[in-house]
Amino acid sequence: NNQVAPPVSARIPDYACQRHTPLQHHNTKFTDALEILEKYADLRYDDQDYSRALAFRRASCVLKSLSRPLSRLSEIQNVTHIGSHSQKVIQEILEDGTSEEVEKICADPWFQKMKLFTAIFGIGPARAKEFIAKGWSSIQEVRDGCTSSDWRIQWGLAFHEDLTTPVTRAEADYILGVVRRHVDRVLPGAVMELTGGFRRGKQTGHDVDILIMHPLENKIIGALPRLLQSLQSHDIVLCGRHERSTYHEELLTQNTKLSPRGQLDHFEKWIGIIKVPNKIRIKNDQSDKTSSHQLGNNKCNTDMKENKDKCENRNFQSDKNTDSCKRDVGNESVLYQRQEDTLDSGSAISDSLEDVWESLDKASSSSSPSHGNPREVKASQGDWIARRVDLIISPFSQFFYALVGWTGSKQFNRDARTYAEREMNMKLSSHGLYDFNQGKQLVASSEREVFDNLKLPYFEPQDRNC
């Protein structure tokens, strides 16, 4: 069949948030190469200049959304976001199967060391460059020579092998289950979502991101410290840092720059490392990929149903003082409702909770002394593996924006925010959406409504893998 396929360019919208970007796509040989160029540019040039890296990321993102393999450059010649450098690399791969420039980068010892060092929890490009300047080229040399008192670096170095072993879907589900048991105890009726890459259908990830909210807006006050105490008392937590919320309403309209390494938001959160029994990972290794994916999705459905049941049991009835929010999961529509809170937010944090905050703050500002010395803990490690976990707690009113933000991908968020600003005169963040035309916030009571408010077609999390 000699028929030439029509050019794909006419059908490609400008922003990644307007395109289906599935996890499995047809152009990996190009996108793998472009992502190496992106990573190299990100590490090579200083933090302020992410634009070079972004150019490769944008090009790769477009290729991921194509519904078939690219067979000639002319098909994408006029596509926005595929610049001349990316085109050159694509052309080379079309002709020779590989790109010389990419091969060179992969073989570059500087690049290899930068990748090795920036994979350490707590180490960014600036610190990695210092290590290279000292002449270090292995993790052991960093372990021997690095004197940083940063808790992340200390634990990151001690548990580096654990933390660079990909987290499996079964482990993510296990962690979600463990956290849920403790959340049920300290914050009954709370809703939890596994977010990040796992929600987008990935089978492995570098961490587990869990978003928590309660249908009663003020119920979350003090809940995270209680949750952490509960987890700690069961010897699940290895180390971590609790961050208080820094949110205030003016942030909704302020112009904040998107940082290259993810969006900073202002939610209360816990960033840490927990222990997962080795048998959980081994179980996952034995199951085939498709079934474990389905298992994950089914589990998510069950989770949502459980929460619905809880809401209904607690008799969250709708009335004029009650907002409600809905989320579609498969054929199921899950209703979360908001009731007037009985707590007064000003006095809600009791003295005893203030003490909990303080002790958590103290423990996390140093190298988490309450959890022991990282090297000694590593030396006596039992039958478990260390896993990075982020627990984020969102007020009900911001939940669906937080869900979109924490589901990602980072590039999806970046483009959605740029689209909102440039095309809609709105400001999007994980806390909400502000419409400058109307001079007001747009509420969302489902994930779909976030897209509706932006006048975007809805994309499932699995289609946000740019």
Among 121, 336, 406, 434, contact with ligand DGT (rule: CB under 6 A)? 406
| Distance (Å, whole) CA 442 – CA 426 | 10
Confirm or deny that 209 is annotated as ligand binding.
yes
Residue 205 interacts with ligand DGT (CB under 6 A)?
A: yes
Segment interacting with ligand DGT (CB under 6 A) among 33-41, 100-108, 157-165, 202-210? 202-210
What's the CA gap between 95 and 101, in Å, rounded? 14
430 touching ligand DGT, by CB under 6 A: yes
Phi, psi of 333, deg, nearest 5: -115, 120
Kindly state whether residue 461 participates in binding ligand DGT, applying the rule CB under 6 A.
Answer: no
Compare residues 154 and 413 and give the one whose CB is closer to ligand DGT. 413
- 73, 62, 87, 296: which is closest to 171 by C-alpha? 296
Minimum CB–partner distance for residue 55 and ligand DGT (Å):
20
Among 197, 296, 395, 461, binds ligand DGT (CB under 6 A): 197
124 binds ligand DGT (CB under 6 A): no
Residue of 162, 207, 415, 447 interacting with ligand DGT (CB under 6 A): 207
Nearer to ligand DGT (CB atom), residue 250 or residue 319: 250
Among 4, 5, 126, 264, binds ligand DGT (CB under 6 A): 264
Neighbours of 385 (CB within 10 A): 19
Q: Specify the residue, 219 or 387, whose C-beta has the smaller distance to ligand DGT.
A: 387
Nearest approach, Cβ of residue 51 and Mg ion (Å): 25
State the minimum distance, in angstroms, from the CB of residue 208 to Mg ion. Answer: 7
Q: Which residues of 244-262 are buried (b: 16+ CB within 10 A; e: fewer)?
A: ebebeeebbeeeeeeebee
Strand 384-394 versus strand 268-277 pairing type: antiparallel
CB of residue 365 to Mg ion, shortest distance in Å: 25
Q: Verify binding: residue 410, ligand DGT, rule CB under 6 A.
A: yes
Least gap, CB of 205 to Mg ion (angstroms): 5
Cα–Cα dist 283/47, whole Å: 40
List the single partner that 406 binds among Mg ion, ligand DGT, none, CB under 5 to 8 Å by kind: ligand DGT
Rounded Cα–Cα distance for residues 147 and 388 (Å): 22
Residues 339 and 342: their CA atoms lie apart, in Å, by 9
**Which CB, 168 or 409, lies closer to ligand DGT?**
409
Is-contact 193 199, C-beta < 8 A?
Answer: yes
Q: Does 205 bind Mg ion (CB under 5 A)?
A: yes
Block residue for tokens 């991908």: 409
With CB under 6 A as the contact rule, the residue among 188, 262, 330, 369 that binds ligand DGT is: 262
Q: Which helix (H) or strand (E) holds 394?
A: strand 384-394
Give the range of 33-41, 304-312, 375-383, 401-409 binding ligand DGT by CB under 6 A.
Answer: 401-409
Among 408, 415, 428, 466, binds ligand DGT (CB under 6 A): 408
Tokens of 414: 């970046």
In terms of CB distance, is 230 or 430 closer to ligand DGT?
430
Q: Max Cα separation, the chain?
A: 77
Q: How far apart are CA 92 and CA 86, in angstroms?
A: 10
* Residue 56 contacts ligand DGT per CB under 6 A: no
Q: Which does 405 bind (CB under 5 to 8 A by kind): ligand DGT, Mg ion, none?
A: ligand DGT
* 463 annotated to bind ligand: no
Is 173 a residue that touches ligand DGT (CB under 6 A)?
no
Binding test (CB under 6 A) with ligand DGT, winner from 374, 405, 432, 461: 405
Cα–Cα dist 121/155, whole Å: 8
Name the residue number minimizing CB distance to ligand DGT: 408
Q: What is the dihedral of CA 167, 169, 174, 178, to 10 degrees?
A: 80
Selection from ligand DGT, Mg ion, none that 225 binds (CB < 5 to 8 A by kind) is none
Residue 309 CB coordination number (10 Å): 11
Kind and range of the H or E run holding 326:
strand 324-329
- HSE (side-chain half, CA atoms, 13 Å) at 33: 22
Close Cβ partners of 356 (under 8 Å, ≥ 6 residues apart): 222, 225, 226, 229
| Residue 207 binds Mg ion (CB under 5 A) | yes
Does position 265 interact with ligand DGT (CB under 6 A)? The reply is yes
Question: What is the Cα–Cα distance from 26 to 105, expressed in whole angstroms?
Answer: 24
Q: Are 31 and 60 in contact (CB under 8 A)?
A: yes
Measured from each CB, the residue nearest to Mg ion is: 196
Where do contacts with ligand DGT occur on this chain (CB under 6 A)? 196-197, 202, 205-207, 209, 262-265, 405-406, 408-410, 413, 430
Where do contacts with Mg ion occur on this chain (CB under 5 A)? 196-197, 205, 207, 209
The annotation places the binding site at 207, 209, 390
